[in-house]
Amino acid sequence: MPPEPAAASATQQDAIYAQLRQWVTVGRFQPGERLKIRDLAERLGCGLMPVRAALQRLAAEGALRNVPNAGVVVPKLSPAEFDDLVQMRMLLEGEAAERGALRIDEPGRAALVVLGGRMREALGQGDAAGYLAANEDFQVRLYRAAGSPLLFDLIAALWLKAGPVSNRLFEAPEAAAALKDAHEPTLAALARHDPVGVRLAVERDLFIASQFIRRRLRAIR
């Protein structure tokens, strides 16, 4: 039996919301960018209404901002706001990484090794989008292994705020070299069953990446 029209509409709205949320998280949009409903609808192959509803939902979550006479805009972060965000990410993601390392199984570890390879390949090709997508998948798998939906939801909310500035990471030529082995310490700690080592490696990765981004934020103020 086909779904009722209202149910089908709700399903489409949820799908559009999920897609736009993912695009914000992986840095598809730039800080300060105005998001045009018609352009997004064309990219997504849908009508205007589900896009408008998704943008308002993301604005309500703080991922986007309604600006008078400008519409929906991607927020900018001040250096102080960025520092606060990084500190919270290190706190929560370090906890999730340690818990995940305690619970992840061998197939899960193998999947992370594959994703580590994808990240190295993307960096070698200068593929920022590919790196960020593989990095998100790596983090999702590790953090979900922690078995705490609440902890993961808190982290995902921070990712929404961090996503738009994440592309700044690749504006510094030296960043790719620094990130080349970004997850090797994490994978090494996982291989030796060292949850505390995993936590420290994840916190270190976040800190190193944040330094490049912070310098770019200061340079463009």
> What CATH number does residue 197 fall under?
1.20.120.530
Q: Are residues 51 and 110 in the same domain?
A: no
Maximum distance among all alpha carbons in the chain? Answer: 57
What is the overall mean pLDDT for the chain? 87
Which of 22-31, 75-84, 152-161, 170-179 shows the lowest mean pLDDT across its residues? 170-179
* Residues 56-65: tens digit of each pLDDT: 999 999 899 9
Question: 55 near 46, Cβ under 8 Å?
Answer: no
Residue 113 CA to residue 124 CA, distance in Å, equals 17
State residue 220's pLDDT score. Answer: 57
How many other CB atoms are there within 10 angstroms of residue 94's CB atom? 19
Q: 83 and 45: one domain? A: no
**Do 76 and 168 contact (CB within 8 A), yes or no?**
no
Task: State whether 210 and 104 are in the same domain.
Answer: yes
Do 150 and 99 touch, CB atoms closer than 8 A? no
- CATH number for 24: 1.10.10.10
Tens of pLDDT, residue by residue over 28-53, are 898 899 999 999 999 999 999 999 99
pLDDT of residue 173: 67
Q: Which of 49, 73, 97 is the last residue of a domain?
A: 73
Helix (H, G, I), strand (E, B), or coil: what is residue 65?
A: strand
Domain that holds residue 100: 79-219
Same domain, 90 and 54: no
Q: pTM of this prediction?
A: 0.84
| DSSP-derived secondary structure for 38-56 | HHHHHHHTS-HHHHHHHHH
How far is C-alpha 9 from the geometric centre of its chain's CA atoms?
Answer: 27
Question: Domain check: are 68 and 85 in the same one?
Answer: no
Domains held by the chain: number? 2
Q: Are residues 125 and 158 in the same domain?
A: yes
Q: Are residues 104 and 157 in the same domain?
A: yes
Among 52, 73, 94, give the residue marking a domain's end.
Answer: 73
Q: Are residues 47 and 122 in the same domain?
A: no
- Backbone dihedral angles phi then psi of residue 220, each to the nearest 5 degrees: -100, 5
203 close to 94: Cβ distance less than 8 angstroms: yes
For residues 104 and 68, state if they share a domain. no
> Cα 42 to the chain's mean position, in Å?
24
Which of 40, 73, 106 is the C-terminal boundary of a domain? 73
Tokens (6 digits) for 137: 């998948």
Q: What is the DSSP letter of 36?
A: P
65 & 83 share domain: no
Question: 102 vs 11, which has greater pLDDT?
Answer: 102
**What are the distances in angstroms from CA 2 to CA 7, 8, 13, 46?**
10, 9, 17, 19
Burial of 218 (0-12, 13-18, 19+ CB in 10 A): exposed
Q: Same domain for 57 and 148?
A: no
65 and 85 share a domain? no
